[in-house]
A and B are shown apart, each in its own frame.
Chain A
Amino acid sequence: MSLTKTERTIIVSMWAKISTQADTIGTETLERLFLSYPQTKTYFPHFDLHPGSAQLRAHGSKVVAAVGDAVKSIDSIGAALSKLSELHAYVLRVDPVNFKLLSHCLLVTLAARFPSDFTAEAHAAWDKFLSVVSSVLTEKYR
């Protein structure tokens, strides 16, 4: 599965807007994840997960920054996220099902914050893009 030219254009142009709210988007995405899918909290026993916690904000920023890296290298996501892919495969070992959950929560966050930009076409492009990112992050699992 690879992104068409149109899909890449949509992602890159929306990212320009999105990146101005990157940190709060990251935090909100994680809040949505932990509330809708409480089982995902099992990966963070060492975190204070209360809304507004410093750790939540820091981690949210990290996640969105990584998405941003993928956008900036949208023609070579595999290369851009190679280290992160190894981290997830050998250290974090987050079950692959969770990437879909996180992707969904990021989409919902974007939809709520950028409703006029989040057309059906943009929705499709982002869903596909995050699916590609998820594949890259799990490709070294076994």
Chain B
Amino acid sequence: MSNFTAEDKAAITSLWAKVNVEDAGGETLGRLLVVYPWTQRFFDSFGSLSSPSAIMGNPKVKAHGVKVLTSLGEAIKNLDDLKGTFGQLSELHCDKLHVDPENFRLLGNVLVTVLAVLHGKEFTPEVQASWQKMVAGVASALGSRYH
């Protein structure tokens, strides 16, 4: 679906090389739960999500955020076949996890915002545009096997 140019791929891979998945993972999932509190509906088993500081400091949130971003890292190695890469995860999110694909779009935009926080000036409008393509492609791939 998304056609990644050589420039897109370069922007995505070079920025990703500088990302600390440990930090970014917790930050990304945490902010999703803080900014869009209704997304907490999927995480009843995570313990305290009662305040922004509880959420951002919650070790289960951090661990799960790392899991999610690690998966994204795999996708970055396969930008030309996101649907293939995420086929099984798509089925999982539909059949077992019952996640509305709208949540993938929300998470993608939170990730873009976190990258802006972490990289500042380096996260230029051009780099952002490549990353928006990336997160849109991932969201689409994750929703591709819904039925």
Contacts and interface: CB of A to CB of B under 8 A. Distances in A.
Interface stretch (A15-23, A78-86, A114-122): A114-122
A91 interface: no
Interface in A33-51: 35-37, 51
Nearest to A124: B35
A108 B35 contact: no
B113 A107 contact: yes
A14 to B, nearest CB: 14
A120 B72 CA distance: 21
B55 A120 contact: yes
A39 to B, nearest CB: 12
B35 A127 contact: yes
Contacts of B123: 108, 112
A133 B30 CA distance: 25
B52 interface: yes
A108 B52 contact: no
A105 B126 CA distance: 12
Contacts of A59: none
Contacts of A105: 128
A108 B112 contact: yes
Contacts of A72: none
A93 interface: no
Contacts, number: 62
Contact of B116 (A37, A51, A111, A124): A111
B119 A112 contact: yes
A126 B1 CA distance: 32
A118 B125 contact: no
A104 B126 CA distance: 15
Interface residues of B, number: 24
B120 A113 contact: yes
B27 to A, nearest CB: 8
Contacts of B30: 120
Interface in B90-147: 109, 112-114, 116-121, 123, 125-126, 128-129, 132
A35 B31 contact: no
B56 interface: yes
Contacts of B119: 112
A127 B125 CA distance: 19
Interface in B3-24: none
A124 B52 contact: yes
B117 to A, nearest CB: 5
A62 interface: no
Given A35-B126, A108-B123, A119-B52, 18 more contacts: A32-B125, A32-B128, A32-B129, A35-B129, A111-B117, A112-B116, A112-B117, A112-B121, A115-B118, A115-B120, A120-B27, A120-B30, A120-B55, A121-B52, A123-B31, A123-B34, A124-B31, A124-B34
